[in-house]
Amino acid sequence: MKTAIIGLPMTGKTSLFAILTGATQETRIGSTAVRTGVAKVPDPRVDELARLYEPPKITYATVEYVDMPSISKESLRDPSYLASLRVVDAFAQVLRLFEDETIPHEKGSLDPVRDLEDVETELILSDLVVVEKRLERLEKDRKKIKNPELDREFELLEKCKALLEENRPLRELPLEGEEEKRIRGFQFLSQKPMLYVLNLGESDAARLHQREKEFREQTLAGRTHTAVTGVCGKIEAELAELPREEQRDYLSSYGLSESALERMISATYSLLGLMSFLTAGETEVRAWTIPMHSTAVKAAGAIHSDFEKKFIRAEVVNWKALMDHQGYPGVREKGLLRLEGKEYIVKDGDVLVIRHG
């Protein structure tokens, strides 16, 4: 899973990228380089299972973050900038709410809703150019050849155009059956699921969840495929400097129970409809990311394509049950280990053993 961190200049994108990925913060103002980093998905279930099995290898799920140079009319005309945006699964747009007179804001004042709308408009205009070009091409082709495929694509793009012209993002376009596949190839920017990251000042840290709630209810009402997480860049940067065992206390002194990374990941997972299952044993404890409502055979395929092809059945137990009974002999004895077939719908926190041919 790949998320691009986007937004206006001086909103805290690079700072957030550094917090999430542990990359060194070389804040080069106005930098045009695209940086990619990997964040481990914090997962207490993996930690606990690893304490039980003490395996030589512990593997967390990972998320890739891309630190994008600021978004603007100009940057959105740069083909390599566009290419970097097109390939990601989701955007995280940083909205600046922290005040700091020494750090100028491009628009001269703090207004997250305005910033959100301005960036949205740029994404919409960028998609509109693509749609119009393709429609022109299709119009010519349809005069030359009769092909129902072209007609359907034309109809779909006409719908896209109508929505974009209302200044609405393609995220909000209801898609039926085939259309989903047909539109995918375009990798439209305004269609990407959007996580808004409110970068709050320190004085707002204790009200972080309140600010999220207000934003969700007031600003995001009716905006489908969007989510919000509040972060306080300053606090998170200080947090990263602390030894692990002091981090929880530091967070809870601000009334927070999770770090920005944890909150951003869980918001992104639910925005994208993702979840994790686990595998655990003496050799490795590992978390795997799959779409919600995946079948056991699909989960097997996430581990190895051969497991999917030669799937026989899955042994399934909830991770907590496995912990409570200190391993497989215990859960077997209690009858908590279930045998499931191909069509079993895997649940978040299931520990799987795939039996395959």
Ligand X SMILES: Nc1nc2c(ncn2[C@@H]2O[C@H](COP(=O)(O)OP(=O)(O)O)[C@@H](O)[C@H]2O)c(=O)[nH]1
- 46 vs 205, which CB is nearer to ligand X? 205
Nearer to ligand X, 11 or 191 (CB): 11
Comparison of 87 and 103: residue with beta carbon closer to ligand X = 103
Residue type, 8: L
Q: Tell me the residue length of the chain.
A: 357
Stretch that binds ligand X, among 8-16, 119-127, 168-176, 291-299 (CB under 6 A): 8-16
Residue corresponding to tokens 């990941």: 265
* Residue 12 contacts which entry, ligand X, Mg ion, none (Cβ below 5-8 A, type-dependent): ligand X
In terms of CB distance, is 9 or 42 closer to Mg ion?
Answer: 9
Does 3 bind ligand X (CB under 6 A)? Our answer is no
Quick one: which of 93, 190, 191, 199 contacts ligand X (CB under 6 A)? Answer: 199
Give 98 or 344: the residue with its C-beta nearer to ligand X.
98
User: Would you say 98 or 311 has its CB closer to ligand X?
Assistant: 98
Helix (H) or strand (E) holding 252, with range, is helix 244-252
By the rule CB under 5 A, 14 interacts with Mg ion: yes
Residues whose CB falls within 8 Å of the CB of residue 286, separated by 6 or more in sequence, listed in order = 46, 57, 58, 59, 60, 278, 279, 280
Instruction: Choose which of 112, 169, 193, 233 interacts with ligand X (CB under 6 A).
Output: 233
Q: How many residues bind Mg ion (CB under 5 A)?
A: 2
- Interface pattern 90-119 for ligand X (x via CB under 6 A): --------x-x--x----------------
HEC string of 322-346?
A: HHHCCCHHHHHHCCCCEEECCCCEC
Is the CB of residue 235 less than 8 Å from the CB of residue 253? no
**What are residue 66's phi and psi, to 5 degrees?**
-120, 125
Cβ nearer to ligand X, comparing 14 with 191: 14
Interface residues for ligand X in 28-47 (CB under 6 A)?
none
* Contact present, 303 and 279 (Cβ < 8 Å): yes
* Nearest CB to ligand X, comparing residues 70 and 268: 70
Listed in sequence order, the residues at least 6 apart from 71 whose beta carbon sits closer than 8 Å to its beta carbon are 6, 7, 8, 119, 122
Distance CA 141, CA 238 (A): 59
The DSSP bridge partners found for residue 197 are 94, 229
C-alpha 319: how far from chain center: 24
Tell me the closest approach of the beta carbon of residue 265 to ligand X, in angstroms.
19
Give min distance, CB of 208 to ligand X, in A. 12
Residues in the interface with ligand X (CB under 6 A) total 16
**Would you count residue 14 as binding ligand X (CB under 6 A)?**
yes
| List 15, 126, 191, 276, residue binding ligand X (CB under 6 A) | 15
Rounded to an integer, what distance in angstroms lies between the CA atom of residue 336 and that of residue 322? Answer: 9
Cβ-based neighbour number of residue 25 at 10 Å = 11
Quote the least distance from Cβ 109 to ligand X, whole Å: 16
Nearest residue (CB) to ligand X, 113 versus 339: 113
Distance CA 215, CA 243 (A): 33
Q: Which of 3, 4, 6, 12 binds ligand X (CB under 6 A)?
A: 12
> Residue 28 and residue 92: Cα distance in Å, rounded?
20
Q: Which stretch binds ligand X (CB under 6 A): 6-14, 55-63, 120-128, 248-256?
A: 6-14
Strand partners, 38: 64
Residue with the CB atom nearest Mg ion in the bound state? 14
Stretch that binds ligand X, among 3-11, 35-43, 143-151, 171-179 (CB under 6 A): 3-11
Residue 192 binding target from ligand X, Mg ion, none, CB below 5 to 8 Å by type? none
End-to-end, the C-alpha distance of the chain in Å comes to 30
Q: Report the 10 Å Cβ neighbour count for 248.
A: 15
* Residue ranges in contact with ligand X by CB under 6 A: 7, 9-15, 27, 70, 98, 100, 103, 199, 233-234
